[in-house]
Amino acid sequence: MTRFSELMSGQTLLPIIQADTPEQGVQIAKAMANAGLTLVEVVLRTEASLDALKAIKEQVPELKVGAGTVINETILQQAIDAGSDFIVTPAVSPKLLSALTKCNVPVLPGVSNTGDILMALEYGFKEQKLFPASLAGGAPFVSAVSSVFREVSFCPTGGVSEQNKMDYLSLNNVFAVGGTWVAKKEWVKEQNWQAITDSCIEAIK
């Protein structure tokens, strides 16, 4: 099984796409691809999310496209059927982790405390998403658990910004950060795709 970080192949930003329509999703994805990004996460938070994911896969084939906000087996199956290249969850449970171990694509399970980290590790997941990172203790928390969970590396998401991303990325046990700041809602609303491209270029410097 390919590790999630291998799929990212050195990209330190996990850019998050939240789209109200498939067309919107495609435009955001194209703007991100124009910045040189090769992988994006579509969060399944709107009715159009799965269709947006499919549309991006069809119309921006150079991108690896995964599904986020996967919280149960039904959504997991829908995401896989839609062609997701990877799966991201906001939280973990024994039932969900059990389903994720049978997944044939890379998975990034979401954790928010030491109990979650241990549980995800027991199911074999050494790469985890800390969410919501800023509320779960931020960079000091990630740093503090590094000596206890030496084989786990993290992709903090939630409250990560241009201002604080290096607090995380400077840590040895962080391989990437996830963020919505590179595709602000007002830019999407104004169809200011160039602003998204510029923000992504700045974020991966």
CA angle 62, 66, 68 (to 5 degrees): 150
Q: Quickly count: other Cβ atoms within 10 Å of residue 32's Cβ.
A: 27
DSSP 205: -
**HSE-up (13 A, CA, CB side) for residue 152:** 29
The residue from 54, 57, 64, 129 that is catalytic is 129
The residue from 41, 64, 127, 165 that is catalytic is 41
162 counts as catalytic: no
151 counts as catalytic: no
Place of tokens 């390919």: 2
| Cα dihedral 115, 121, 123, 125 in deg (nearest 10) | 130
Residues noted as catalytic: 41, 129
